[in-house]
Chain A
Amino acid sequence: GAGVSQTPSNKVTEKGKYVELRCDPISGHTALYWYRQSLGQGPEFLIYFQGTGAADDSGLPNDRFFAVRPEGSVSTLKIQRTERGDSAVYLCASSLGPTDEQFFGPGTRLTVL
C-alpha cells in the first residue's frame, strides 16, 4: 500500500515568509508525528498527534511553528515569519497507534534564503 507522502519535496522561501508543509499518513494510522532534521544530525521530535488533537507539542521551537490535523488524517505544519535557521528537512511519520513502529515519509527540504 501507499506509504507516508509529503509535499512539496522541496520548498525555497525568503526570510519572513509563511510556509505550509503537508503530510499524508498511511491510511488508518491514528498517530502522526513531525520531526525536523538539520544537516549532519538525527531527526528531532516536534509534535505528536493522536487523532485530531496534538497530544504533545513540546518539540516545537517557538510560537512561529504550528501544526494541525483537522480530520485526523492529513496534517499541515505551518511556519510563520520564516528565519534562515528554520532551514532543514521536515519529516512526517505515522503509526497505527502510539506504541507501534513509525513509518516515515521522504521529508520536505525547506530552504530559507
Chain B
Amino acid sequence: DAKTTQPPSMDCAEGRAANLPCNHSTISGNEYVYWYRQIHSQGPQYIIHGLKNNETNEMASLIITEDRKSSTLILPHATLRDTAVYYCIVSLRGGGSNYKLTFGKGTLLTVNP
C-alpha cells in the first residue's frame, strides 16, 4: 500500500471548516483513499473513502487532486466533538490485502471553542 504523509497536529475554531491534508504521492491507479478518525479512548471510526472523484457524505467531504497525489478531508462546520486523531489510509479495494488497514500516526485535530 502507498505511504501517506499527514501533519501531526492542527487546530480549528468551532463552527469553522476544518481542512485536513494528506499526501500520497506513490498512490497507484486502483488504490482508494480512506479516512478514519479516533476520538480519545474509542476505536477508530470510518468517515469516507474515494478513488478519484470528490465524495461527500453526512460527516465530511473528500477532495482528491486530479493527479491523485494528495487529498483533503473537509469537516464543514467543526464542533468540539470532532476533536480526534484523523487517519488517511491508502488501500486497494476488492483485491490484494485491502482488508489490512495500515494506519500512520494521523493528524490530531483540536477544535477550540
Contacts and interface: CB of A to CB of B under 8 A. Distances in A.
A48 B105 contact: no
Given A99-B93, A99-B94, A101-B49, A45 B43 contact: no
A42 B103 contact: yes
Given A42-B87, A42-B106, A99-B93, A93 B43 contact: yes
B46 A102 contact: yes
Interface stretch (A67-75, A80-88, A104-112): A104-112
Interface residues of A, number: 26
B54 interface: no
B44 A43 contact: yes
B44 A91 contact: yes
B49 A102 contact: no
A95 B98 CA distance: 12
Given A56-B97, A99-B98, A44 B46 contact: no
Contact of B101 (A43, A55, A107): A43
Contact of B103 (A4, A40, A44): A44
A107 B99 CA distance: 19
B36 to A, nearest CB: 8
Interface string B93-113: 110011111111110000000
Given A48-B100, A98-B99, A42 B46 contact: no
Interface of B: 41-46, 49, 85, 87, 93-94, 97-106
19 contacts: A4-B43, A31-B99, A40-B105, A41-B103, A42-B87, A42-B105, A43-B101, A44-B103, A45-B102, A56-B97, A56-B100, A91-B43, A91-B44, A93-B43, A101-B46, A102-B44, A102-B46, A105-B43, A106-B42
